[in-house]
Amino acid sequence: MSFEGKRNLAVLFVIAGAAVIAFIAFSMFKDAPLVREQITEEVTINGKIDNSCVIETSDSIMSSKKIENCDLEIGTKAKVTYQKALSTAEIVK
């Protein structure tokens, strides 16, 4: 087999390997959305941990969320935005 034939065979194996890896990756993460839904709602501050506030949202996957650098008091109502299934939120001003 010539050098040209060996090189073509190597390229073919690399392409086949990349296709197998891509297939496995897509089949493992088929339910994970690439772009998460962003939700805005009004909530009540339920607790504080250091400089963060803890809230409960209507997110069915992860309802409890944390707001970093929050200076609001417990019981205060705030409008927040968050991405579904993530643990953090931000106050909308």
The pLDDT tens digits of the residues spanning 19-32 come to 999 888 777 766 66
Query: What does the alpha-carbon distance between residue 56 and residue 48 come to, in Å, rounded to a whole number?
Result: 12
**pLDDT in the model for residue 20:** 93
Higher-confidence position of 31 and 45: 45
- Domain holding 68, by residue range, is 38-91
**pLDDT in the model for residue 25:** 79
Whether residue 33 has pLDDT greater than 70: no
Residue 74, by phi and psi: left (phi above 0), alpha (psi -120 to 50) or beta?
A: beta
Q: 42 and 28: one domain?
A: no
Q: 43 and 24: one domain?
A: no
Lowest mean pLDDT segment, chosen from 15-19, 34-38, 89-93: 34-38
Q: Are 54 and 45 in contact (CB under 8 A)?
A: yes
Q: 84 and 55: one domain?
A: yes
Average pLDDT of span 46-72: 95
Query: Mean pLDDT across the chain, nearest whole number?
Result: 89
C-alpha closest to that of 85 among 58, 45, 50, 55: 58
Write b or e for each residue in 45-61: b if 16 or more Cβ atoms lie within 10 A of its Cβ, otherwise e: beeeeeeebbbebebee
The DSSP secondary-structure symbol of 23 reads H
Ranges of beta strands (E only) in 1-93 are: 38-49, 52-56, 64-67, 77-83, 89-91
CATH of the domain at 72: 2.40.50
Which pLDDT band holds residue 35 (cuts at 50, 70, 90)?
A: confident
